[in-house]
Amino acid sequence: MKANRELGIIVYGATGYTGRLVAEYLNSQYGVGGDVSWAMAGRSREKLEAVRDELGISAKVPLVVADASEPASILAMVERAAVVISTVGPYQLYGSELVAACAQAGTDYVDLCGEPNWMREMIDAHEETAKKSGARIVFSCGFDSIPFDLGVLFLQEQAQQTLGAVLPRIRGRVRGLKGVWSGGTLASFKATMAAAAKNPELVATLTNPFALTPGFTGAEQPSGMKPTYDDVLESWVAPFMMATINTKNIHRSNMLQNHRYGADFVYDEMLVTGPGDEGEAMAKAVAEDKSMANDPTRPGEGPTKEQRDTGFYDLLFVGETADGKTIRAVVTGDMDPGYGSTSKMIAESAVSLLKNPDLGSGGILTPASALGDVLIDRLQRNAGLTFELEGS
Ligand SMILES: NC(=O)c1ccc[n+]([C@@H]2O[C@H](COP(=O)([O-])OP(=O)(O)OC[C@H]3O[C@@H](n4cnc5c(N)ncnc54)[C@H](OP(=O)(O)O)[C@@H]3O)[C@@H](O)[C@H]2O)c1
């Protein structure tokens, strides 16, 4: 069914801060009229035309008008494409009709969602429909959660190949990171906090590492919420903002791959702040930092090109086998995590789905369970990421 669609990929939200970057990347990487056909979508034709012209994109790239508040326009859009990329967030405000329509129409879908309450709602409401229609719906195809979800998969695969063992314990450690937030990300964070303030039941979802594995609760997990001295790294570590969404996605990846990491898999994710008194003081300062709640950046705004180009990330994954052997992997990105690198990651996720229509089956999936090695390969060839073993 998907093979007969008029368009390959639709970038929905192409007028927003991140959506523009995705359109720019598809244009420079895949051009117009090649084997990856793509279109730009949003709620205003005038704005789409202006963005297309401003980015120097050919007028041959189709423009599709669809408004999140008009379900008929959303359904008409998803029926035209094999894959929809959505950067229209906060997803809990604007995304539900789109996921429902993709699940119904058998259209593949990727987004940048880091809102676990909404993701759980979508799983409960649309998983069965997506399984039947063949729609591969993949949330969190940006910095949260691709480098973490695929970093864990990569390390498990390497451990199986080199040690012949699974890793029941992995520590995800952010060793270095440079970037700033966009207004859309701040709005999504604030929407989740506002929803939790109205409905205290949501707090249980936000704090449960198994919130996205309905029917399955695994081993007790470290909370990751307090500054701690990490004996394995010989360094202080602090709570990491993205850990709440990444850990949930990683446990869902494990479940969707029939628990290939083990049913008792334990994972935590923290920010490395260094050894000694200085490392401890820094870990405490990070834990107390509330600047995100007061950041005045508005939707549509985000880091400058220079900030994106000079950003980076360096993520360490330390795995332990049941008999105490360790293995380490590093994942790096060549631009700021949230936008420069994210726009390349989500675009390559969509291209992976487009070029591999028979990979996996329909459902509400994660990057590792839906795309795995296919995506690791594309990200390394095209998107400036590296996946390597360290110290071996
Ligand atoms: N996971 C990650 O690593 C990651 C990274 C980056 C971003 N994100 C997420 O991506 C989302 C977008 O962020 P952003 O900074 O790019 O946001 P943004 O600049 O505010 O863009 C939002 C987009 O949504 C569109 N939109 C709003 N209401 C709409 C409606 N009713 N119908 C159709 N379109 C509508 C806007 O269209 P107009 O231009 O017409 O207003 C705009 O194109 C956020 O949820 C953010 O959290 C996640």
Residue owning the nearest CA to atom 27 of ligand 1: 88
pTM (predicted TM-score): 0.97
End-to-end alpha carbon distance in the chain: 46
363: region left, alpha or beta (phi > 0 left; psi from -120 to 50 alpha): left
Residue 377 class from Cβ within 10 Å (0-12 exposed, 13-18 middle, 19+ buried)?
middle
Nearest ligand 1 atom to the CA of 299 is: 20
How many CB atoms neighbour CB 181 within 10 A? 18
Nearest ligand 1 atom to the CA of 141 is: 1
Q: How far is the CA of 91 from the centre of ligand 1 (A)?
A: 8
For 23-69, write each residue's pLDDT tens digit.
Answer: 999 999 999 999 999 999 999 999 999 999 999 999 999 999 999 99
Distance (Å, rounded) from C-alpha 15 to C-alpha 24? 11
CB of 143 shorter than 6 A to ligand 1: yes
Distance (Å, rounded) from C-alpha 310 to C-alpha 50? 28
Residue owning the nearest CA to atom 24 of ligand 1: 88
pLDDT at 291: 84
Which are the contacts of 294, defined by CB distance < 8 A and separation ≥ 6?
A: none
Which are the contacts of 11, defined by CB distance < 8 A and separation ≥ 6?
A: 19, 22, 23, 26, 38, 39, 40, 41, 85, 87
pLDDT at 129: 98
pLDDT at 226: 93
Q: How far is the CA of 342 from the centre of ligand 1 (A)?
A: 13
Nearest ligand 1 atom to the CA of 113 is: 1
pLDDT at 9: 98
Which are the contacts of 57, defined by CB distance < 8 A and separation ≥ 6?
A: 23, 24, 27, 32, 40
Q: How far is the CA of 94 from the centre of ligand 1 (A)?
A: 9
Residue with tokens 């220079």: 306
CA distances from 279 to 223, 272, 275, 285 (A): 20, 8, 5, 10
Distance (Å, rounded) from C-alpha 364 to C-alpha 119? 9
Please choose from 10, 11, 15, 111 the residue to mutate so as to test ligand 1's pocket, defined by most ligand atoms within 8 A of CB.
15
For 99-148, write each residue's pLDDT tens digit.
Answer: 999 999 999 999 999 999 999 999 999 999 999 999 999 999 999 999 99
Please choose from 54, 74, 112, 118 the residue to mutate so as to test ligand 1's pocket, defined by most ligand atoms within 8 A of CB.
112
Collapsed DSSP state (helix, strand, coil) of residue 73: helix
CB of 300 shorter than 6 A to ligand 1: yes
Residues of the chain with pLDDT under 70: 1-3, 392
Collapsed DSSP state (helix, strand, coil) of residue 101: helix
